[in-house]
Amino acid sequence: MGGASFLFAVAAGACALTAADEVTLDERAIRLRDAASLECVPEERREEVGALVLAAPRAGRQRIALSGETVAALVRRRVPAIGVIEGDMGRTIAFHVPPRRSELERHCLRASRAIAAGEPITAADTSSAICETVAPAPVRYDRVNGVLSADAPLSEGAYLGPLLPGAGPATTEGAPMTVIVRAGPVTIERSVRAAQAGRAGDRLFVRAEDGAVFSVDYPASNPAP
């Protein structure tokens, strides 16, 4: 973040926060046009003002979640002339950051085992590969939960291209799970299915066989017996 503040005569009307809750960036920078509309900026200045950088994500960051109030503050700090910004300041706006080109070149992968369609893909399921010009195997990325999964059955050795899968375990919606509850010498196991995708460390909702829905912590590894 940086650079001189930008001054101009405000046009009629007010600028508003982006209506999108999930914003996919074209580069590793959040520009003003990604965060807000430009109705209050004179038309002849919109391209220039919209290109102003509000924030530059740190290396390795793939997702940045900011409150509407924080985004509005970044806009006003960068362009003080925009004094009024409309929108829900309490909601969260997530910006999805593309990896650096050098990161893509270092992270081409192959499947290290056969992976069923819909099954999550983690770092443990992959091995390094030389980046190729062929089309990679079809995968799906759940941006909200940050989970990669196979979009079709993948054979061992399938070329996945420049992916950056999570390091820990992951689950997809509908996957079978076992909830284990221990109270002193008593251990209770309950078969459930994930009601949402999730990664290790997340708290996610699961659905039991009787239809009951409740939340559990998804551990980073299988609990010790």
Is residue 3 one of the residues assigned to a domain? no
Of 78, 96, 114, the last residue of a domain is: 96
Query: Is the pLDDT reported for residue 223 higher than 70?
Result: no
Determine the structural domain holding residue 179 and report its residue range.
171-217
The answer, yes or no, to whether residue 131 has pLDDT greater than 90, is: no
The pLDDT score that the predictor gives to residue 110 is 92
**Residue 159 belongs to a domain:** yes
Over residues 83-102, the mean pLDDT reads 81
**Residue 5, in any domain of the structure:** no
Q: pLDDT for 67-88, tens place per residue?
A: 999 999 998 888 887 866 888 8
Can you give the pLDDT at residue 198?
75
Pair 208, 139 in one domain? no
More confident residue, 46 or 145: 46
Same domain for 127 and 81? no
Specify whether 80 is located in the same domain as 146. Answer: no
Q: Which residues are within 8 A (CB) of 77 and not within 5 positions of it... i.e. 6 or more apart?
A: 5
Long-range Cβ pairs for the range 207-210 (8 Å, 24+): none
Indicate the number of domains in the chain: 3
Q: Are residues 64 and 133 in the same domain?
A: no
**Mean pLDDT estimate for the chain:** 80
> Are residues 90 and 31 both part of a single domain?
yes
Count the Cβ atoms, other than its own, within 10 Å of residue 52. Answer: 16
Mark which of 38, 68, 96 sits at the end of a domain: 96
